Structure 1
Amino acid sequence: MVVHSVVYGQRLRDAHALLDADPRVRVRFTVAPHTFNRGAAEHVRRLGGTVLPWAEAVRERFDLVLAAGSQGLEQVHGPMVRLPHGARHIKLSPTGVGAGRTVSGLGPEYFVWQGRLVPVAYALAHEDDRTELGRGCPEALPIAEVVGDGCYDRIAAALPHRERYRAALGVRPEERLVLVCSTWGSGALFTRFDTVLPRLAAELPRRGHRVVLLVHPNVSAAHGARPLRSWVTTATGGAVTVLGPQEDWRPLLVAADAVIGDHGSVTLYGTMTEAPILLAEYPHHAVNPHSPGALLARTAPALDLVRPLSVQLDDAARQYRRTDYAAIAARISSEPGRFDLRMRRLLHRVLGLDESVPAPGPNLLPLPAPLWPRRRRERLRHAADPAVAGPRRR
């Protein structure tokens, strides 16, 4: 398993669970050269894997190479299966001009090296991706296989247990959990944190609201997780909690009452929930116009920094129509609930193994560690509210 970055490693975890359950398969990891691979080795260790140095990995031959990125893969020996590293293919490639721009992840630069296809299979989430692949890299169509989306299936399975995830996080039933999520690069919500986050801290009542910030791990890889957390804490007076780049964001999305996002994958996955979505940033020129992300941009209200944010969240909740967002969510995966089955079949076929070993059970999202422990919150509330605390002892 080739882990280019924390994001790519997160994307591989569902496939890793399918392989790890088969005693005939020995899984090894390596971290490929990548601009944003800071934290990738730590992510592998959190999965319980050992890291094979890249210099050694490119000298060996493997029965299967699994990756969610493309950089450097031409140096690795063995039949390769590629996965997308996000929900569908929302962004346009930064290269090219106008109609000549390909969809990010579906152009020849992601598949072809010196005239040959590097992967033997590319696992797509939706049938519509075949059309995009045909536009961007038609020579890769024979290796395309629609398997569905592992994140989609995990989130869908967790939604009926939403209250358990909220309780595990420390969210009270009467509290509203607002998830602020940003992708990376120009046009991301990250570029407007200095205006959006202080407004949220100032305008949303502390009592009754919990705000969590989820930032694309590439931002932490480039700037450092600690400086980002320090800046957010200072700018918001501690009103916004930052989720670490290594943590699983999916339970937060399941638990959220509202989402403020941009053109990243997490915002798109938010259409699976019943949380109203506000788009704080959306660079239409950089978004694949045929993607469900573009449809989301035409459906969700845009955040207006002139109007009070609490009013906009209330308006978004009143105007929310579940059928509109369910139609967008349906375009994330054309094989809902079947990722494990189809992906396992693909991996075993490439490995040359039968499926006689029982498949692992449903891989449910684990309950998260509390972000707001109840006891600590009660101490803080008592200390801050004299009416609750009562007279101090001498």
Structure 2
Amino acid sequence: MLDVLPVFSGDVRITRLFTLIPGSDFGTDAFSAIDALGGRTVPWSEACDDSYDLIVAASPKGDLRLLRGPRVLVPHGAGFNKTIRSEGSAHAASGLDPAYLRRAHDHAPAALHALAHPEQVTRLATADPRAARRAKVIGDLTLERVLASAPLRERYRAALGTGARELLVLASTWGPESLIRRHPGLPAQLAAHLPYDEYQLALVIHPNERSSLGKYELAERLAPALDAGMVLPDPHEEWASTLIAGDALVTDHGSAALYYCAARDRPVVSVHPGGGELIPGSPMGVLLDRIPRLESTGNIAENIADALRAYRPGPGHAAAQAAFAPVSDAMDRLRREVYALLGLAPPGHDVTPRLLPSPVPAPRVPAAFDVHVVTGAAGVRITRHPAGTGPPGHHLAVEHGAASERLARSAGLLFRRPLPPSAAPVDLAWTADGWTRYALSAYPGCRSAAAVLPDGACLLRMRGHERAYSVRAEPRSASGRVTRIDPAIGLSAVHAGLTSHEPAADGRTTLNCLVGERTFHITLRPATNAEAEQVI
């Protein structure tokens, strides 16, 4: 509805009211979404007592016939891909079920059945020939928003904190065959096995599943993955901007995958075995038949990587073409139709798809990492995993002031980032050298202590070494783009190097730090007095 209603934008003759048809198991959050926007809602009992110039609905289900006024039916989701066995007619596509279409039609036929593809008109004619007479191919307004917002991809990735990492999105529909029901441990498995500095994980989950569980219960069930940095975007708009930001998708049979494929042909893998709710020959059926399938969740990271490598461009584009046509002007088409039903001339100004908002999911940033180190001829390879999600590594790197005292006391490398400016009338702060000396004294199990300086360089002091060191990870520049690493990664590389080798006599060393496919140069030298006295 929120993608459709902007066709009336700027028209002072139109008043928009919202009501919810009783009977849904998932209506709890619907009014919350409207309330968050400041929309005016009307109780169902009151809505049935009045008459309206136009009624816009996204489903023929429920007692829609009790509302008085010409009706416009618009589909929700991309295509008609699922059959819901617990309701309506057996094997009928949800949204095209003759049991609901005919009941509504017998009372008062829909004035317009807006569809996204000519094939959908054919399917509607099979389900209810009378309803098909009032059907028109309008297009998909959600798709128009996705395509219009595609140039904002880098902005969305910045909001998510993705950086140069690969963003792997899990897309789950609702119900017993959904990813989140069939593979509830998959998010935590991926979060534990995928290197934190190379991959970011996001879960796009159907609003019905959120409504069924509640935000708190869902967050508690997903806590291991969320604590490891997984993103859980808002289900009403941010899901779409997260798909635009994504580099690869793991999907069940939910239609969110089709919007992902329509935006750009990027790798997609399936965790749905086929059959069940999935309708053969539907757009999602077309997609899932042609993309790699994750057969096992045993060695999850390796299996996902193999499946993504096996993807070849083409299936995503073909599935999107089966779901969406035409791919532009849907808003203008719908605007002409609904204003004709109202008997009004549209306003003189143009309406365009509203750009999707940036995600604001506030992902949790791990404050402690098991750091795995492999030293070779090319340099020191650093692979970090959130602490406790897998086997211990070469050392435990912990951010002091952000992790628990238990983790701090177990750290091999303890580091501190600059604090935000204080509003205290009389402030108290550490110098970089003062804090590193304090940390080595207060935490006897700590081998190295480091302070990240405001300019991104670090001051590191190692137990048993007389001097403090300046550590800087140099940015990597290629094709006009600059890639930087978290200073804590460079600290782990230097910590590993100093643990096994003494520095050069003058204390100056350059080492290569390998993170995924990238190599960064780390410079190590004796710290200056000015660096040691910097306030952190």
Shorter-chain TM range is: 0.7 to 0.9
1:107 offset after TM fit, Å? 2.2
Residue 24 of structure 1 is matched in structure 2 by 13
What letter matches 1:365 in structure 2? L
Q: CA–CA distance in 1 between the matches of 2:415 and 2:399? A: 5
Distance across 1 between alignment mates of 2:135 and 2:4: 17
State the Cα distance separating 1:362 from its structure 2 match.
3.8
Cα contact 1:204–1:309 (8 A) shared by 2: no
Q: Contact between 1:62 and 1:78, CA under 8 Å: does it hold in 2?
A: yes
In the other structure, the counterpart of 1:310 is 301
The 1:162–1:171 alpha-carbon spacing in structure 2 relative to 1, beyond 3 Å, is same
Match of 2:341 in 1: 350
Whole-angstrom distance in 1 between the partners of 2:87 and 2:156: 43
Partner of 1:256: 246
Q: CA separation in 2, counterparts of 1:16 and 1:97?
A: 28
1:232 aligned residue:
222
1:46 — aligned with what? 36
* TM-superposition CA deviations, 1:330-368 (whole Å, max 9, x none): 222111011111111111111111124312234222223
Q: Does 1:14 align with 2:40?
A: no
Match of 1:332 among 313, 323, 334: 323
What SS does structure 2 have at the residue aligned with 1:344? helix
Instruction: Name 1:389's counterpart in structure 2.
Output: 415
| Unaligned residue ranges in structure 2 (runs of 5+) | 370-397, 404-410, 417-434, 439-536
Residues 1-28 of structure 1: per-residue CA shift (max 9 Å, x gap): xxxxxxxxxxx11211111322221111
Partner of 1:179: 169
User: Using a 3 Å threshold, how does the CA distance of structure 1 residues 57 and 199 change in structure 2: closer, same or farther?
Assistant: same
* CA contact 1:233–1:239 (8 Å) conserved in 2: no
Superposed CA offset, 1:127-166 (max 9, x none):
0101111221222111111100012111122223321221
Q: Which moved further from structure 2: 39-48 or 156-165? A: 156-165
Structure 1 counterpart SS, 2:238: coil
Secondary structure, counterpart of 2:13 in structure 1? coil
User: Hey, what does 2:494 align to over in structure 1?
Assistant: none
Q: Which moved more, 1:363-372 or 1:213-222?
A: 363-372
Kindly tell me: are residues 36 and 97 of structure 1, through their superposed partners in 2, closer, same or farther at Cα, counting changes over 3 Å? closer
Deviations for 1:177-210, whole angstroms, at most 9, x for unmatched residues?
1111111112111212333223212211122221
- Deviation of the 1:235 alpha carbon: 6.3
Secondary structure of residue in 2 paired with 1:360: coil
Unmatched 5+ residue regions in structure 1? 1-11
Corresponding residue number in structure 1 for 2:142: 151
1:212 CA drift (Å): 1.3
- Segment of structure 1 superposing worse, 88-97 or 103-112: 88-97
Q: Residues 241 and 361 from structure 1, CA distance in 2 versus in 1: closer, same or farther, beyond 3 angstroms? A: closer
Residue 131 of structure 2 is aligned to residue 140 of structure 1: yes
CA contact (8 A) 1:258 1:313 kept: no
Q: Identity of aligned pairs, percent?
A: 31
Is 1:192 aligned to 2:182, yes or no? yes
Counterpart residue type for residue 389 of structure 1: F
Contact between 2:227 and 2:366, CA under 8 Å: does it hold in 1?
Answer: no
C-alpha contact 2:109 2:131 (8 A) present in aligned 1:
no
Offset at 1:324? 2.7
Offset, 1:225: 1.6
In structure 2, the residue matched to 1:9 is: none
User: Which has the higher mean CA deviation after the structures are superposed, 148-157 or 299-308?
Assistant: 299-308
Which is worse superposed, 239-248 or 274-283?
A: 239-248
| C-alpha spacing 1:78/1:102, structure 2 compared with 1 (3 Å) | same
Paired residue for 2:52, among 32, 44, 62? Answer: 62
Query: What does residue 105 of structure 1 align with?
Result: 95
TM-score, scaled relative to structure 1: 0.88
Tell me if structure 1 keeps the 8 A contact 2:294–2:307. no
Q: Name the structure where strand makes up a greater proportion of residues.
A: 2
For 2:87 and 2:36, locate their aligned partners in 1 and report how far apart those are by CA, in whole Å. 38
Aligned amino acid, residue 244 of structure 2: V
Shift of 1:387: 4.9
Q: State whether structure 2 residue 154 is matched by structure 1 residue 130.
A: no
Distance 1:76 1:282 in 2: 41
Relative to structure 1, the CA distance from residue 377 to residue 269 in structure 2 (aligned partners, 3 Å threshold; closer, same or farther) is: same
**Counterpart in the other structure of 1:8:** none
1:393 CA drift (Å):
5.4
Corresponding residue SS for 1:240:
coil
Residues in 1 aligned to 2:265 and 2:307: alpha-carbon distance in whole angstroms? 11
Task: Output one character per residue of 1:318-338: Cα deviation in whole Å (capped at 9) or x when no partner.
Answer: 333323321211222111011
User: Whole-Å Cα distance in 2 between the matches of residues 26 and 318 of structure 1?
Assistant: 51
Contact kept in structure 1, 2:65 and 2:107, CA below 8 Å:
no
Q: RCO greater where, 1 or 2, for CA within 8 Å and sep 6 or more?
A: 1
Does structure 2 conserve the Cα–Cα contact (< 8 Å) formed by 1:263 and 1:282? Answer: no
Kindly report which structure 2 residues correspond to 1:363-382, keeping only aligned pairs within 5 A, or say none.
363-369=354-360, 371-372=362-363, 382=399
Larger % of helix: which? 1
Given that 1:58 and 1:77 are in contact with CA atoms closer than 8 Å, whether structure 2 keeps it comes out as yes
What residue identity is the alignment partner of 1:165?
Y
- Residue type of the alignment partner of 1:82: L
Cα distance change on mapping 1:31 and 1:292 into 2, 3 Å: same
Asked whether the equivalents of residues 271 and 325 of structure 1 are also in contact (C-alpha less than 8 Å), the reply is yes
Tell me, yes or no, if structure 1 residue 298 matches structure 2 residue 289.
yes
2-structure distance, mates of 1:161, 1:239: 22
How far 1:228 sits from its partner (Å)? 1.0
Match of 2:272 in 1: 281
Pick closer, same or farther for the CA change 1:233–1:377 going to 2, 3 Å. Answer: closer
Aligned residues: 379
SS at match of 1:220: helix
Which amino acid is the alignment partner of residue 19 of structure 2? T
Normalised by the length of structure 2, the TM-score is 0.66
Given the alignment of the two structures, is residue 241 of structure 1 paired with residue 231 of structure 2, yes or no?
Answer: yes
